[in-house]
Amino acid sequence: MDNFEWGQGYIEKFGLHYVDFNDPERTRIPKLSALYYSNLIKDHGFVEGTFTAPGGIPTIEYENEMYYGMFPKNFSWGVNTAAYQIEGGWDADGKGLSIWDQFVHDGLAKNNETGDVASDSYHLYMDDVNLLKELNVSQYKFSLSWSRILPQGTTNITNTAGIVHYNQLIDALIDAGIEPVVTLYYWNLPQALMDMDGWLNEDIATLFNDFADLCFSLFGDRVKTWVTIHGPKGIAYDGYEKGTTAPGLTNQDGRNTYLVGHNLLKAHAMVYNTYDKKYRDVQKGKIGISLEAVWNEPLRKYSPGDWNAAERANAFDFDWFANPIFGNGDYPDIMKSTVNDSRLPMFTSEEKKMLKGSADFLGLNLYTAYLVTTAEHTDMLTGIGKDTAVKFSVDSSWKKTGSSWYYVTPFAMRKMLNWIKNKYPGVAVYVTDTGTSDNDGTLDDDHRISYVKEYTNEVLKAIRLDNCTVEGFFVHTLMDGFAWESGYNEKFGLYQVDFNDSDRKRTAKASARYYKELIADNGFYKEEPEPSIPFEPVEQKTNVHNLPMFSDFYYGTFPENFVWSAATAAYQIEGAWNVDGKSESIWDVRAHSGLLDNNATGYSL
């Protein structure tokens, strides 16, 4: 345990257990290293993938190193886009108004910018298909604009031009050998339905099911992978509590936030059920949902309180939507025990049955990690933040991006994939949304190359070292577009778009070329393979300059009679320097003479 470190007093800490020296009880708390050492003793050696810390967070090899190897042969590579960010054509050919049209026309986006034209993909979709062919992606995840197909949001009025557009895009993708992955709802509700209170109205779930049913009948003969909803937490929290995204509503107690989330979950389950019963046998497709997440890392690894805060944050951030679908059909227990029933709607037994297992795969939208600890002043918090009761921070060493809300934290990807594996075993995962931003759209985007390289490498580690089931990776995004409330200030694309050019010229960035190479390689090769070192049996004389497996991690167990222990020194831990007849030692004299750092003593350890 931490103790009195001779001449350095209490400045240096060597313990497997943390000791609070400001606590008269000298409370001992196991650090992560204590948990690791305990498992090492239990395993009596090194066995791949055996040790996990609290919350299912693995302590794993290659955590801060590049891992070389191949992705599975059938691994899917793609890019992710959202209709409002790239399509433009906001009122073209009979399209109805969406909540994002309304939001930006009310001047609520940065610099009063709009997505009226954006990247003009409504008109330039063949240019996009050519970019995708150039990248050699196997899949393209794009979303449908609900109001382009159903201008008023209901099946009473359909827009033929919108249907023709998506048929042409789907056909062009298939002709190019690219599988379409279609998102039914990516944040752009028809404004006509917002006039009915949007996702606060449970009837919207039925209308969404009608829209999805129509899309399955129109496109399902060619579309074999569907995403019902992309980022439901962002819809509920950013759109209906913080008000930073469309429709721009706010609430202080979280009641409406939870109601929106509730209706989104029911809508998802209804759509899955419709596909499952009506279309699956004929169309032979699959359908899932994309959930956003951040990795919540305990601020202090030795603090059980911070581990609990991290689990609580994950529950309110990710498990809020994951547990009803991939778990037991209901909200996480910690949510139900924390949030008053009058604010968190309850599912009926029938709804729980319909929700449980209502996805063929989980789409993971992950960009960043945060450091978390328990919030001390929850009276200053509102809504979901008050219920979660954690304080978020970041490490000053984390790289910044062109967006204020996230940092480059590749480790978050692997840890989140392990969280999913441990909490929802057997669930197939696609990374459906991750990427990095800058503010100038530079073509020499080495920072984006590093991001893609580091995040995909963490996915590879999760697959090869941790046995996580990950089946695909989608970079956000294909090209620069309208970045929601940030307008055109944040650029995420692999391709630069010239927004001053009426033709919206697309130009490949360095990251596009890198991603193409990564897809072609389907993994990571060492640039200069190191010569292998032949194994030398132990009975032979060993050259200390050429030790076998010198740079490799070796798996195996120790001899049967190998002894595991921990060491201490009396003066470092005992305290009680003059208790019960004990006389002074040379360390008592030296410490009491003020000869140690900070005049520390070991008198009361």
pLDDT mean for each 10 residues of the chain (605 residues)? 86 88 84 76 72 50 83 97 98 98 98 98 98 98 98 98 98 98 98 98 98 98 98 98 98 96 98 98 98 95 86 96 98 94 94 98 98 90 94 96 97 94 96 98 98 97 93 98 98 98 98 98 78 48 64 80 91 88 89 80 63
What is the C-alpha to C-alpha distance for residues 222 and 283, in angstroms, rounded to an integer? Answer: 8
What is the C-alpha to C-alpha distance for residues 87 and 361, in angstroms, rounded to an integer? Answer: 27
pLDDT of residue 549: 62
If one counts every other C-beta atom within 10 angstroms of the C-beta of residue 349, the result is 9
pLDDT of residue 532: 46
In one-letter notation, the amino acid at residue 478 is: L
What is the C-alpha to C-alpha distance for residues 354 and 409, in angstroms, rounded to an integer? Answer: 36
For the full predicted model, state whether its pTM sits above 0.85: no
Contacts for 378 with CB less than 8 Å, ≥ 6 apart: 386, 389
Q: For residue 40, is it within any domain?
A: no
pLDDT of residue 377: 82
- Residue 299 to residues 182, 310, 317, 367, 371: CA-CA distances in angstroms? 38, 9, 17, 18, 5
Q: For residue 250, is it within any domain?
A: yes
Number of domains in the chain: 1
Q: For residue 46, is it within any domain?
A: no
For residue 347 the two structure tokens come to: 């599912």
Residue 602 phi/psi, 5-degree rounding, is: -105, 30
Q: Which residues of 458-470 are buried (b: 16+ CB within 10 A; e: fewer)?
A: bbbbbbbbbebbb
Q: For residue 179, is it within any domain?
A: yes
CATH number where 368 lies: 3.20.20.80
Q: For residue 9, is it within any domain?
A: no
Q: Which residues of 376-391 are buried (b: 16+ CB within 10 A; e: fewer)?
A: eeeeeebbbbbbbbbb
Q: For residue 491, is it within any domain?
A: yes
Q: For residue 570, is it within any domain?
A: no
pLDDT of residue 533: 45
Q: For residue 578, is it within any domain?
A: no
pLDDT of residue 14: 92
Supply the range of the domain harboring residue 108.
69-524
Structural element, H or E, at residue 283 = helix 280-283
pLDDT of residue 605: 55
